[in-house]
């Protein structure tokens, strides 16, 4: 699983750099335009996508007794004040870098357990291992990247956020 986490961490950083570049190419009206979607604007979806990183990284931090993701960005007291595309994108890169550090340091032992009881905002409690959280983190952020991709498609923005070549090692021949 560690190889998968390391690959995803690199891909995620590269993808977020592409997302920022693509969203920066839009005028601010398109970024803020009301949409008939759950997240009422592209800006709201983008911010939620990045807030998802913090949520899962904070869960991993708690499940490992502060062994990983020790950063002001993952503390419960950290206030999200990102309002602009630049600010949201900057936070995404900072959180991506934390995930890269985690990917380099995490051990199989830490991934496997033990499962820790966590109570979510809905008031329900769950037993979660770090592996459970990492799997959901990667799946959920990929889901939101797909939503961003769909909205970019609708806006006519050419992109390839999920392409195979993002995972491939380039060769000179």
Residue 66 lies inside a defined structural domain of this protein: yes
CATH number at residue 123: 1.20.120.450
Where helices occur in the chain by DSSP H, the ranges are 2-24, 28-32, 42-63, 85-105, 108-112, 130-154
- Which of the four pLDDT bands, split at 50, 70 and 90, describes residue 168? low
> What sign has the CA pseudo-torsion 23, 24, 29, 31?
positive
Residue 171 lies inside a defined structural domain of this protein: no
pLDDT digits (tens, 9 = 90+) for 129-154: 999 999 999 999 889 988 998 889 88
Tell which residue, 142, 141, 24, 8, has the closest CA to residue 90.
24
Residue 122 lies inside a defined structural domain of this protein: yes
Kindly report the average pLDDT of the chain as a whole number. Answer: 89
Residue 59 lies inside a defined structural domain of this protein: yes
Residue 81 lies inside a defined structural domain of this protein: yes
Residue 60 lies inside a defined structural domain of this protein: yes
Which residues in 145-163 are b (16+ Cβ under 10 Å) and which e? bebbbebbeeeeeebebee
Range of the domain at 53: 2-166
Residue 173 lies inside a defined structural domain of this protein: no
**Minimum mean pLDDT among 11-15, 137-141, 168-172: which range?**
168-172
The three-class DSSP label of residue 94 is: helix
- Please report the pLDDT score of residue 164 as a whole number: 63
- Which of the four pLDDT bands, split at 50, 70 and 90, describes residue 163? low
Residue 54 lies inside a defined structural domain of this protein: yes
- Which of the four pLDDT bands, split at 50, 70 and 90, describes residue 166? low
pLDDT digits (tens, 9 = 90+) for 42-90: 999 999 989 999 999 999 999 999 999 999 998 888 888 777 899 999 9
Q: Cβ contacts of residue 95 below 8 Å, gap of 6+?
A: 50, 53, 54, 57, 73
> Using H for helix, E for strand and C for coil, what is the string for 102-116?
HHHHCCHHHHHCCCE
Q: Cβ contacts of residue 66 below 8 Å, gap of 6+?
A: none
Instruction: Tell me the pTM.
Output: 0.87
- Please report the pLDDT score of residue 160 as a whole number: 80
Q: How many residues does the chain have?
A: 173
- Please report the pLDDT score of residue 159 as a whole number: 86
Does residue 121 carry a pLDDT above 70?
Answer: yes
Structurally, the chain folds into a number of domains equal to 1
Tell which residue, 71, 75, 78, has the closest CA to residue 100.
71
- Please report the pLDDT score of residue 124 as a whole number: 92
């Amino acid at each position: 699983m560690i190889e998968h986490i390391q690959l995803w961490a690199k891909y995620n950083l590269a993808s977020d750099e592409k997302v920022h570049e693509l969203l920066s190419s839009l005028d601010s009206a398109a970024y803020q335009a009301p949409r008939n979607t759950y997240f009422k604007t592209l800006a709201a979806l983008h911010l939620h996508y990045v807030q998802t990183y913090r949520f899962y990284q904070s869960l991993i931090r708690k499940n490992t007794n502060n062994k990983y993701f020790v950063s002001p960005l993952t503390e419960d007291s950290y206030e999200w004040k990102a309002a602009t595309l630049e600010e949201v994108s900057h936070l995404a890169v900072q959180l991506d870098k934390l995930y890269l550090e985690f990917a380099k340091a995490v051990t199989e032992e830490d991934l496997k357990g033990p499962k820790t009881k966590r109570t979510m905002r809905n008031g329900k409690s769950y037993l979660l291992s770090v592996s459970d959280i990492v799997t959901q983190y990667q799946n959920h952020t990929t889901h939101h990247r797909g939503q961003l991709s769909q909205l970019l498609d609708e806006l006519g923005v050419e992109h390839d956020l999920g392409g195979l070549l993002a995972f491939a090692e380039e060769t000179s021949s």
